[in-house]
Amino acid sequence: MSLASYAARRVALGLVQVLAVVTLVFLVVQALPGDAAVALAGDNPDPARIAQIRAAMDLDRPAPERFLEWLIALPRLDFGVSLVSGRPVADFLFGGIGPTLLLAALTLALLVPISVLVGVLAALREGSLLDRALTSISVALHSIPEFALAVVLIAVFGVQLTWLPPTAVGADLLAQPAVLVLPLVVLLARPICSISRLVRAGMVDALASDYVRHARRLGLGETRVRFAHALPNALAPAVQQVARTTDWLLGGVIVVEAVFVIPGLGTVLVDAVAARDLPVVQGLAVVFAVTTVTVNLLADLVAFRLAPRAEVVA
């Protein structure tokens, strides 16, 4: 199968997947107790008032009917309006996607070089003190959950030593990059381990493989053997993991956003679900589904390019 027809098939499948995700999200939110009117009424749940809010929000029409209308408008990229605030859903998505994208891009820009370097170094010195040290540190970091690491870093560097701002509250992320340091460290800690371990394993396998031995027999320089022949093959499995990490980052890492007060997509999602603001939740589902499908497709294509013999399954 050619790369192009493979990609086309995957895109078509992706569209079906997005539709399935959105429908599923709609059903799940419907299954939650209470609707937007109940959530908005809060501790003043006078039934008469809830009925009025419901009418004012147009919630008295059947839910499937509202869902279909929303779906029909979707191909025009019309995400509808928020039930609670009346502002367009697209505003929420644009508002949240900025901080999330910024964090994801910075994390990836640091993650890929660092983890490849760590993995390669460990593989080249397999079994050495360096290998064992890198392995121990990265596994140790991996075993700390994000929130625990965040809490410790804030307490030590933000509050006690006051080297770095403890939160990003009210800050303009681009104008005050210092607020991003601690969140980036937290976001990097675990993926560095998982990816560098995969690179190390791939590299160790590749260096022991027949084709590397053959390349050495042909008299190719050691650097060329390592980095032009062994490394690309070693990276193929890591690419899938980078894709999963990217997907995780683009979903808005809720814990990190909450602890550091970064108003990204994760925060928008939490607020929208709590408010039962269905159009906003559905809009987010579209964004998350599209990113997941796209990122995985790209990863498969990159893996295919790096190691063309690898089997691609649609």
* 94-123 binders of another protein (CB under 8 A): 95
147 counts as binding another protein under rule CB under 8 A: yes
Phi-psi region of 264 (alpha: psi -120 to 50; beta: other; left: phi over 0): beta
48 counts as binding another protein under rule CB under 8 A: yes
User: What distance in Å separates the CA atoms of residue 29 and residue 47, rounded to the nearest whole number?
Assistant: 21
- Exactly one of 93, 114, 220, 261 binds another protein (CB under 8 A); that residue is 261
Torsion of Cα atoms, 103 then 105 then 109 then 111, to 10° = 60
Q: Between residues 114 and 258, which has the closer beta carbon with respect to another protein?
A: 258
44 counts as binding another protein under rule CB under 8 A: yes
- Exactly one of 275, 297, 306, 310 binds another protein (CB under 8 A); that residue is 275
128 counts as binding another protein under rule CB under 8 A: no
The tokens for 33 are 């107790």
- Only one residue has tokens 């080249």, namely 124
Please provide the DSSP assignment of 116-181 as one string.
HHHHHHHHHTTTSHHHHHHHHHHHHHHTS-HHHHHHHHIIIIIIIS-SS-S--TT--TTT-GGGGH
Measured from the CB of residue 288, what is the shortest distance to another protein in angstroms?
17
- β-partners of residue 123 are none
Q: Between residues 195 and 278, which has the closer beta carbon with respect to another protein?
A: 278
90 counts as binding another protein under rule CB under 8 A: no
- Exactly one of 166, 191, 202, 237 binds another protein (CB under 8 A); that residue is 166
The tokens for 113 are 């070089």
For the window 197-236, what string marks contact with another protein as x by the rule CB under 8 A? ----------------------------------------
For residues 93 and 81, the answer to whether their CB atoms sit within 8 Å is no
Q: What is the largest distance, in Å, between two alpha-carbon atoms of the chain? A: 85
Residues that bind another protein (CB under 8 A): 32-34, 38-50, 52-53, 55-56, 82, 84-85, 87, 92, 95, 145, 147-148, 151-152, 154-156, 158-160, 162, 165-167, 169-171, 258-261, 263, 267-268, 270-272, 274-277, 280
